Amino acid sequence: MNSSTVNESLLWPIILYSTLALLVVLSMIVISYFLGQKHHEKATGEVFESGIEITGEARLRFPVHFYIIAMFFVIFDLEAVFIISWAVAFKEVGWMGYWGIVTFIGILLAVLVYEWRIGALDFGPKGNQIIEAYKKLKKS
Compute φ and ψ for 40, nearest 5 degrees.
-135, 65
Mean pLDDT of 16-45: 86
What single-letter DSSP state applies at residue 38? -
Query: Kindly report the CA angle at 32 between 31 and 34, in degrees rounded to 5?
Result: 65
pLDDT tier for residue 80 given thresholds of 50, 70 and 90 = confident
Distance CA 94, CA 9 (A): 47
Distance CA 115, CA 73 (A): 13
Q: Is the pLDDT of residue 108 over 80?
A: yes
pLDDT tier for residue 47 given thresholds of 50, 70 and 90 = low
Domains defined along the chain, listed by start: 64-124 (1.20.58.1610)
Task: Dump pLDDT digits (tens) for 50-63.
Answer: 656 667 676 777 76
The H-assigned helical ranges of the chain are 3-35, 64-88, 90-118, 127-139
pLDDT tier for residue 75 given thresholds of 50, 70 and 90 = confident
Which comes out higher in pLDDT, residue 83 or 128? 83
Percent with pLDDT over 90 in the chain: 25
pLDDT tier for residue 116 given thresholds of 50, 70 and 90 = confident
Q: What is the pLDDT of residue 121?
A: 72
pTM, 2 dp: 0.42
